[in-house]
Amino acid sequence: MIDGVITFEEFIAALSVSSKGTIDEKLDWIFSIYDIDDDGYITKEEMLNIVSAIYERKGLPIEKCNIAHQKVEQIFVKMDSNCDGKLSRKEFVDGFKNDRQILRSLLDKKYEDT
């Protein structure tokens, strides 16, 4: 990704990983999306940007009920094991793997863990 723009090849690779990849490949791909500045960590601000965009895309009134902020806080309480205010790749992956509800939303019914 250059200047916040992905190439067609990057888009196709991401599509392939999101539909056919292993759990680790999917989580790695998702981490790279949330890590907007590509510094190896996800901050609350970065996560809030992505979560807000998802809620806006779905037409949810995030301004009124502050859902996005609450969701980000909940995720950080669960995943930020060293309480430094940012998620490392390991914290992110472990957090997803340890929360079945989040993990289930990632996987389709046909997926088999190998």
Q: Kindly list the structural domains of the chain, giving each domain's residue range(s) and its CATH number in brackets, ordered by start.
A: 8-106 (1.10.238.10)
pTM tops 0.75: no
Residue 3's Cα: distance from chain center in Å? 20
The confidence score (pLDDT) of residue 114 equals 37
What is the C-alpha separation between 103 and 114, in angstroms, rounded?
15
pLDDT in tens, the chain (114 residues): 555 566 666 666 666 666 777 888 888 888 998 999 999 999 999 998 888 887 777 777 766 557 788 888 988 998 999 999 999 999 999 998 888 776 665 554 333 443
What is the C-alpha separation between 100 and 67, in angstroms, rounded?
21
Strand partners, 88: 41
